[in-house]
Structure formats: structure tokens, C-alpha cells
């Protein structure tokens, strides 16, 4: 994209292809003669500088920094809640940071009665002068409890609350400085020990698939042989299709991309669900090369080795190639869907009166919360205008009466 813009021939004043000056660039400055304009163009090596436009955007974006909100979810490895799926380990490995320093892990017995909570952690990562504000939304307790019915509801509510907040901010006065807390992506961890998605996984994914970009991952993939991994991937892909669960769809690769990029893109798409291994340990492979990995008696599983797992593909996709697309899909499709249903519910007959609005706002989180503030403001404005109109009408009537009265008085005096 950048490359294409800087080399496009039509951006030159004197197009190399045609040898003719471009139409829009023939304009002269006030008072400048055609000859002077031509001379200055020739001196300028026939280059205006549009090619530098991307640099302006680049500088502006770098100055502003980037933000990204990532959610991690997924039940325990075993249905008894004995061990996590390696979510925190993977996140630390992905971003090379310790986001879970302050984490308190409950005992296995306490986990059985634990309910789901939502925890938000933030970290600012800087790399090569580029700042990224990463917010991690964790869902500890998901699937740990013996009774898991509706345990995903707080997650749905949380995602919707962020949409609602954004909608309010967008309709408010300070639109320029909106803090975007919407969840841009949900990494959903699937146990490597099951035979695909469990009913709890299906229920969770169904509840959120139209509200957030889902990227499924097979956790602790070092527990599986390569053949088993492929079989589990296929089973999960089939289940997702059968259950009509929409996961994040990679955009099609542009036809003018280079072959290397196209190959990487195809590889990435085929890897879904990504089979990942996480580790916070750096081990020495044969005593020489330090690598992030998990050491076993039979050898070392290297986290960043594409022959061992899909960790690199996941990181490349999440950070290098698709972060912006995930944000755009969140804004253009998922948030727009939410906004449209909000507007629809406002337009429904009866939805505008206060009674039905307060009834709607008490409805469960899975239904659409209404943006009360903008509507209230609009109603207040309408009431004020109505009042103004009524006063003007009264004044007009008074003036008409006075005019009529003076007219009759005039007629009477004429008659006398």
C-alpha cells in the first residue's frame, strides 16, 4: 500500500507515461503568469510532493499511539477446574511482558464455587518508537464452577456496555477525545484434551459471535501429536460451521501483494484454530541458543518454532498484519450492528415514551440497552421548542386582536 502510493506515476506533475502535465496541477498562483508557472515547475523537477502524504499520516498515528483491547476466555483444561488453559502464560509470551504480576490464584476447591468475573489490565508497550496501549480483559472463573449455566452472561454484558459507552460518547459533545474501550478481539482457548468444542464452548461462542471478533486457539498444543492436532483442528472447524458460529474472517489478500506475503497469508488462514504453546521460560537448546520453550525429558518444545506450534502465526496476525483490520471490523460491522439495533428499538412504536423506555432499560443484558442520554436531550430540546412556538402563537393572537380592535375603532370614528 505504502509502496504503491510512493511510486504511482500519476502523482508526478509531468506524467512519465503521457509526457503531459496533469490537469489539476495546471493551476497557477494569483498573479503568476503561465511562463513563470512553467519555469518553477521545471525547476522543481516536476515533483509536487503528494508522495509524502502517507508520511503525514504515519507521523500523526505514531504521535497519537495505538490502542487495542484483547479479551481472553475459555474454560479450564478439565471440567473439574484444576488447571488453567495457559491464557496468562500465552499473553505474557505474546507481548513479552508480565501482565499478570498481581494475579491471585484461588485453590482448586475454591474454583468449584467461583463465579465468572471480568478483570481489566492495561500495559503500554513501546517498540521502535511506536507506542501501543494494550488492554487485556480476562475472564477468570469461566467454566470453573460446577453449575455453568448462563455463566457467559457477564461477558456479553461487558462487551455491550463498552458499545453503549462508545455510543454515548459519540453522541456527546466531546466526540474528538473518545476513549475506545470496545473489545477488538477475543482469543478463545479450547482444551487440547477434549474431542472438539464442548457444549460450554459452543454456548459461549454463540452468545458473543456477533459482538466480538473471535479467534479460536487450541491451548497447550504440546500435549498433542501433529496428527492429533490436525484432526482436532478439522473437528473444531466442522463444529463451528455446523453451529453457524462466525469467527473472525481474514480479509482477502490484495492481488498486487508479493508472493511471500500471499504465502504467509494463506498459511495463516489454514492454521485456524491456532494450536499454541506458551512459556515464560527461556531455555537453552542444547546449551547454545536461548529459546522460549518448555523442556521435557524427551526434548524441548520451542514456542517460536513454526514446526512445533502456530504461536508465530498467531502473533504475526494479531500484531503485525491484522490488528488494524480487527479494529475496523469492530467499528464498521460489530459496533454498527449494535448501533443499528439500538436505533431500531428507538423507532419502535411506544419505545419513545418514558414508561416503555425505563422498562426496556431494565431488560436483561442480552437485550439491547438504549442510549438514554441523547434521547433525553433531544426530548428536552423538542419540549423547549414547543414552548417557544406556543408563546409566539399567543403573541400573534394578541397582536391580531389589537389590530382588529384598532380597526373597528377607526371605522367607528369614520362613521361619526
Judged by CB, which is closer to ligand GDP: 83, or 113? 83
141 binds ligand GDP (CB under 6 A): no
Stretch that binds ligand GDP, among 147-155, 217-225, 254-262, 352-360 (CB under 6 A): 217-225
Report the 10 Å Cβ neighbour count for 387: 10
182 binds ligand GDP (CB under 6 A): no
Can you tell me the distance from the alpha carbon of 133 to that of 114, in angstroms, rounded to the nearest whole number? 30
What would you measure as the largest C-alpha separation in the chain, in angstroms? 126
Interaction mask 223-262, ligand GDP, x per CB under 6 A: x---------------------------------------
Closest contact distance (angstroms) between CB of 142 and ligand GDP is 9
**Residue of 12, 209, 220, 327 that binds ligand GDP (CB under 6 A):** 220
**Residue of 88, 271, 300, 313 that binds ligand GDP (CB under 6 A):** 88
Site for ligand GDP in 290-319 (CB under 6 A): 294
Site for ligand GDP in 374-413 (CB under 6 A): none
Judged by CB, which is closer to ligand GDP: 90, or 272? 90
Closest contact distance (angstroms) between CB of 230 and ligand GDP is 18
139 binds ligand GDP (CB under 6 A): no
CA 218 to mean position of chain CA atoms: 22
134 binds ligand GDP (CB under 6 A): no
Reference 374, options 173, 181, 163, 177; nearest CA is 173
Judged by CB, which is closer to ligand GDP: 218, or 272? 218
143 binds ligand GDP (CB under 6 A): no
Judged by CB, which is closer to ligand GDP: 209, or 294? 294
83 binds ligand GDP (CB under 6 A): yes
Which are the contacts of 373, defined by CB distance < 8 A and separation ≥ 6? 168, 171, 172
Judged by CB, which is closer to ligand GDP: 141, or 371? 141
Report the 10 Å Cβ neighbour count for 155: 24
**Residue of 222, 265, 302, 310 that binds ligand GDP (CB under 6 A):** 222
Judged by CB, which is closer to ligand GDP: 183, or 224? 224
Stretch that binds ligand GDP, among 86-94, 114-122, 236-244, 284-292 (CB under 6 A): 86-94
**Residue of 278, 293, 369, 371 that binds ligand GDP (CB under 6 A):** 278
Stretch that binds ligand GDP, among 79-87, 174-182, 234-242, 403-411 (CB under 6 A): 79-87
Judged by CB, which is closer to ligand GDP: 220, or 233? 220
89 binds ligand GDP (CB under 6 A): yes
Closest contact distance (angstroms) between CB of 292 and ligand GDP is 11
**Residue of 277, 291, 314, 326 that binds ligand GDP (CB under 6 A):** 277
**Residue of 68, 71, 81, 87 that binds ligand GDP (CB under 6 A):** 87
- Which residues contribute to the site for ligand GDP (CB under 6 A)? 83-89, 220, 222-223, 277-278, 294
Amino acid at each position: 500500500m505504502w509502496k504503491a502510493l510512493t511510486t504511482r506515476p500519476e502523482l508526478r506533475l509531468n506524467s512519465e507515461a503521457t509526457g503531459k502535465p496533469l490537469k489539476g496541477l495546471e493551476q497557477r498562483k494569483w498573479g503568476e503568469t503561465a511562463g513563470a508557472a512553467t519555469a518553477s515547475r521545471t525547476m522543481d523537477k516536476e515533483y509536487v510532493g503528494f508522495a509524502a502524504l502517507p508520511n503525514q499520516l504515519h507521523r500523526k498515528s505514531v504521535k497519537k499511539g495505538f490502542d487495542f483491547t484483547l479479551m481472553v476466555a475459555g474454560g479450564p483444561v478439565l471440567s473439574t477446574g484444576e488447571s488453567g488453559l495457559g491464557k496468562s502464560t500465552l499473553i505474557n509470551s505474546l507481548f513479552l511482558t508480565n501482565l499478570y504480576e498481581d494475579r491471585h490464584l484461588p485453590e482448586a476447591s475454591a474454583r468449584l464455587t467461583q463465579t465468572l468475573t471480568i478483570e481489566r489490565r492495561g500495559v503500554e508497550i513501546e517498540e521502535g518508537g511506536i507506542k501501543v496501549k494494550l488492554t487485556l480483559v480476562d475472564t477468570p472463573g469461566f467454566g470453573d464452577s460446577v453449575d455453568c449455566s448462563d455463566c457467559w452472561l457477564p461477558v456479553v454484558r461487558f462487551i455491550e456496555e463498552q458499545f453503549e459507552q462508545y455510543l454515548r460518547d459519540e453522541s456527546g459533545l466531546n466526540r474528538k477525545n473518545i476513549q475506545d474501550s470496545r473489545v477488538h478481539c477475543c482469543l478463545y482457548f479450547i482444551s487440547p484434551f477434549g474431542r472438539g468444542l464442548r457444549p460450554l464452548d459452543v454456548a459461549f461462542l454463540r452468545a458473543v459471535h456477533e459482538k466480538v471478533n473471535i479467534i479460536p486457539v487450541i491451548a497447550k498444543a504440546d500435549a498433542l501429536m501433529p496428527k492429533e492436532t490436525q484432526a482436532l483442528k478439522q473437528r473444531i472447524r466442522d463444529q463451528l460451521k455446523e453451529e453457524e458460529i462466525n469467527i473472525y474472517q481474514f480479509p482477502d489478500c490484495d492481488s498486487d501483494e508479493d508472493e511471500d506475503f500471499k504465502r504467509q497469508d494463506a498459511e495463516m488462514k489454514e492454521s485456524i484454530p491456532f494450536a499454541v504453546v506458551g512459556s515464560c521460560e527461556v531455555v537453552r537448546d542444547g546449551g547454545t541458543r536461548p529459546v522460549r520453550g518448555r523442556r521435557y525429558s524427551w526434548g524441548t518444545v520451542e514456542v517460536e518454532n513454526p514446526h512445533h506450534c502456530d504461536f508465530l502465526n498467531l502473533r504475526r496476525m494479531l500484531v503485525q498484519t491484522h490488528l488494524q483490520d480487527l479494529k475496523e471490523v469492530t467499528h464498521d460491522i460489530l459496533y454498527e450492528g449494535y448501533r443499528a439495533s439500538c436505533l431500531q428499538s428507538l423507532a419502535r412504536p411506544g419505545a419513545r415514551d418514558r414508561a416503555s423506555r425505563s422498562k426496556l432499560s431494565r431488560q436483561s443484558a442480552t437485550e439491547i440497552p438504549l442510549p438514554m442520554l441523547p434521547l433525553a436531550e433531544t426530548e428536552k430540546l423538542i419540549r423547549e421548542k414547543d414552548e417557544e412556538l406556543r408563546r409566539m402563537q399567543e403573541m400573534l393572537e394578541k397582536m391580531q386582536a389589537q389590530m382588529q380592535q384598532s380597526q373597528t375603532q377607526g371605522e367607528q370614528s369614520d362613521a361619526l
